[in-house]
Amino acid sequence: MSSIPENVRYTETHEWVRKDGDRYLVGLTDHAQHEMGEIVMAELPEVGAEATKGDAMGGLEAVKTAEDFFSPLDGEVVAVNEELEANPSLINEEPFEGGWLFAVKASDDSQYDGLLTAEEYKIHIGE
Amino acid sequence: MNKKTPLYEKHVSLEATIQPFAGYLMPIKYGAIKKEHMAVRESVGAFDLTHMGEFRVTGTDATAFLDKLLTNDAAVKNGKAYYSTMCYPDGGIVDDLIVYRIGDQEYLMVVNAANLDKDWAWVQSHLQGFDIKVVNESDDTALVAIQGPRAQEVCVKLTDSDLDSIGYYEHTTGKFAGVDALIARTGYTGEDGFEIYMKYPDAVTVWDSVMEAGKEFGIIPVGLGARDTLRLEVGYPLYGNDIDHSTTPIEAKLGWVVKLKTDKPFIAREVLEQQKAEKPGRYLAGMEVTGRGIPRHGTPLYSGDRKVGIVTSGTIAPALGKAVCLGYVERGFQKRGSELEAEVRGKRISVKVVKLPFYTQGSRK
């Protein structure tokens, strides 16, 4: 069983989103990191890049697979997790904490409320 | 319905990630692929490779038959093995395989699991005119590989056979963990190691004995995931990725297993002879990734704006800490130092052709 904390929202593409002051942190869910296996490289967006809900913001390389990740919200990328450059396995080890990917300043906060709840995400992944 | 190897329950109890592969439920990994990979590079790991196919060829024409079917020369001494390709008349590859010479008139062909049915049909269609018998022993032959610099220290505890006298690509038959086995110093990892062939009912005994004997060396089970990264790190081609019907051994830089020096008329000989003389339009090359990203099977390769090749396998190389790939490039670009670009997720990343193997510190003897 994957860890599916209730204090974050989810996307169907397996990102989690957490409100963090006036920005939102975005990461990969525990379920998704487990499916991908050991992540060995994280290609992150540029700070200042425009974020469009549903658009690919970067990619993750695991030993056997590669997956893009997507912005859950419209807005602007205001920070990226630079720790991942040296230590991409943080995404596997602490998907909801040290393994966050990027932070977005949303242009429409109401989009957050439209994201999946933990309960809905659980159903989405069939757990 | 996928088949289970006799070690399936072992894999389940080890909580392996199990997936269907070539008609078998096979362990892909038991924990982390990188950890399994490094265990084989640094100490020793054990693999269940029972999915591989085994055909036993016996009879007065056994050597002549293999010399017709395969591109490499079957005239090796008893107790030796050889690697070969098996080609279609057009030079495309049916499969690549290891052949063990058991006796004057007996060989064991070990073929890729994914090609088993195709290979069997191919072998059957060429029997005419040869005084031989070919038996498909795949369904009751298990294979356990023990690979890594400490493999011999593990195996020596389990057999009375003199392992020191078995060189690389040599084998013997004898007792291993108390059961009848073919004991071969072969493998697909770039490390020293043994491949042990036995009958299905003996597989659990062998597996348990190997794990017990290997305990002091930190032996761990290794899945097909690390098998793939291990072989790629030493530049060994994988059928279905790097070689197939659309590629020839000359293009794949496997010319060393195409024996043109003999006068034996094997299938595709003329075509391959001509291709070697005229030089093919493309070659398989090994590339190190100098940019960020991992090119994978199907990733296009560019020189400037021109597409000059395609990646056939790519991975992070755990023992090297960088990404590497194999791919076909137009003749000229296969030269060492050639700088190309791979298009990964819409972005160009730099790759550079290097000498194979990527990893050169292997313990292979």
Each residue's pLDDT tens digit, A8-61: 999 999 999 999 999 999 999 999 999 999 999 999 999 999 999 999 999 999
Q: Cα A67 vs. chain centroid, distance in angstroms?
A: 12
End-to-end CA distance of chain B: 40
- Which residue does chain A place closest to B37, by CA atoms? A63
Gap between the Cα atoms of B167 and B172, Å rounded: 10
User: What pLDDT shows up at residue A1?
Assistant: 77
* pLDDT band, residue A70 (cuts 50/70/90): very high
- Is the preceding peptide bond at B295 cis, omega within 30 degrees of 0? no
Mutate to test the interface with A, among B229, B294, B299 (most CBs of A within 10 A): B294
Q: Which fold has domain B281-365?
A: Elongation Factor Tu (Ef-tu); domain 3 (2.40.30)
Which tokens belong to A9? 């929202």
Q: Of the candidates A32, A22, A109, A23, which has an alpha carbon nearest to the alpha carbon of residue A70? A: A32
Q: Identify whether the C-beta of residue B152 lies closer than 8 Å to the C-beta of residue B217.
A: no
- In DSSP notation, B283-348 reads EEEEEEE-SSS---TT-EEEETTEEEEEEEEEEEETTTTEEEEEEEEETTTTSTT-EEEEEETTEE
Chain B residues near residue A66 by CB distance under 8 angstroms? 294, 296, 344-345
Mutate to test the interface with A, among B289, B345, B347, B348 (most CBs of A within 10 A): B345
- In DSSP notation, B200-248 reads GGGHHHHHHHHHHHHGGGT-EE--HHHHHHHHHHTT---BTTTBSTT--
Q: Note whether B292 contacts A: Cβ–Cβ < 8 A.
A: yes
Each residue's pLDDT tens digit, B8-34: 999 999 999 999 999 999 999 999 999
Which tokens belong to A62? 């695991």
Q: What are phi and psi of B109, to 5 degrees?
A: -95, 130
Judge: A40–B29 Cβ closer than 8 Å, yes or no. no
Task: Reply yes or no on whether the pLDDT at B365 is more than 80.
Answer: no
Task: Reply yes or no on whether the pLDDT at B38 is more than 70.
Answer: yes
- Which residue does chain B place closest to A56, by CA atoms? B345
Mutate to test the interface with B, among A1, A33, A38, A57 (most CBs of B within 10 A): A38
Q: Note whether A46 contacts B: Cβ–Cβ < 8 A.
A: no
Judge: A43–B29 Cβ closer than 8 Å, yes or no. no
* pLDDT band, residue B236 (cuts 50/70/90): very high
- Widest distance between CA atoms in chain A: 37
Gap between the Cα atoms of A97 and B269, Å rounded: 61
Nearest to B229 among A43, A61, A63 (CB): A63
Q: Identify whether the C-beta of residue B232 lies closer than 8 Å to the C-beta of residue B170.
A: no
Q: Identify whether the C-beta of residue A81 lies closer than 8 Å to the C-beta of residue A101.
A: yes
Q: Note whether A38 contacts B: Cβ–Cβ < 8 A.
A: yes
Nearest to A63 among B225, B344, B345 (CB): B225
Judge: A66–B229 Cβ closer than 8 Å, yes or no. no
Each residue's pLDDT tens digit, B322-357: 999 999 999 999 999 999 999 998 889 999 999 999
Q: Which residues pair with B57 in a beta bridge?
A: B107, B134
Q: Of the candidates B362, B259, B238, B349, which has an alpha carbon nearest to the alpha carbon of residue B301? A: B349
Alpha-carbon separation of residue B177 from B151, B167, B198, B207, B284 (angstroms) = 15, 21, 11, 9, 41
Q: Identify whether the C-beta of residue B181 lies closer than 8 Å to the C-beta of residue B206.
A: yes
Q: Mean pLDDT over residues B65-80, rounded?
A: 97
Identity of residue A53: K
Q: Note whether B32 contacts A: Cβ–Cβ < 8 A.
A: yes
**Sheet strand arrangement including B179-184:** B171-176, B179-184, B193-199, B141-147, B45-48, B220-221
Nearest to B34 among A38, A59, A61 (CB): A38
Chain A residues near residue B318 by CB distance under 8 angstroms? 63
Nearest to A66 among B29, B33, B296 (CB): B296
Nearest to A41 among B29, B292, B296 (CB): B292
Each residue's pLDDT tens digit, A72-99: 999 999 999 999 999 999 999 999 999 9
Q: What percent of chain B has pLDDT over 90?
A: 97
Which tokens belong to B124? 């059957």
Judge: B345–A63 Cβ closer than 8 Å, yes or no. no
- In DSSP notation, B62-76 reads HHHHHHHHBSS---P
Gap between the Cα atoms of B197 and B181, Å rounded: 5
Gap between the Cα atoms of A84 and A94, Å rounded: 11
Each residue's pLDDT tens digit, B158-214: 999 999 999 999 999 999 999 999 999 999 999 999 999 999 999 999 999 999 999
Choice among B84-88, B226-230, B288-292, B361-365 with the minimum mean pLDDT = B361-365
Choice among A63-67, B22-26, B239-243 with the minimum mean pLDDT = A63-67
Q: What percent of chain B has pLDDT over 70?
A: 100
Give span(s): CATH 2.40.30.110, chain B: 281-365
Q: Mean pLDDT over residues B95-106, rounded?
A: 98
Which tokens belong to A18? 């957490």
Give span(s): CATH 3.30.1360.120, chain B: 3-53+139-233
Task: Reply yes or no on whether the pLDDT at B140 is more than 80.
Answer: yes
What 8-state DSSP symbol labels residue B153? H
User: What pLDDT shows up at residue B364?
Assistant: 86
Chain B residues near residue A38 by CB distance under 8 angstroms? 32-34
Which tokens belong to A51? 């974020």
CB pairs under 8 A between A and B: 42
Q: What are phi and psi of B312, to 5 degrees?
A: -110, -25
Alpha-carbon separation of residue B283 from B239, B251, B308, B352 (angstroms) = 16, 5, 11, 15
Task: Reply yes or no on whether the pLDDT at B156 is more than 90.
Answer: yes
User: What pLDDT shows up at residue A127?
Assistant: 81
Task: Reply yes or no on whether the pLDDT at B144 is more than 90.
Answer: yes
Q: Which fold has domain B3-53+139-233?
A: Gyrase A; domain 2 (3.30.1360)
User: What pLDDT shows up at residue B16?
Assistant: 97
Which tokens belong to A49? 């890049």
Q: Which fold has domain A14-108?
A: OB fold (Dihydrolipoamide Acetyltransferase, E2P) (2.40.50)
Cβ neighbourhood burial of B193 (10 Å; 0-12, 13-18, 19+): buried
* B346 vs A120 pLDDT, higher one: A120
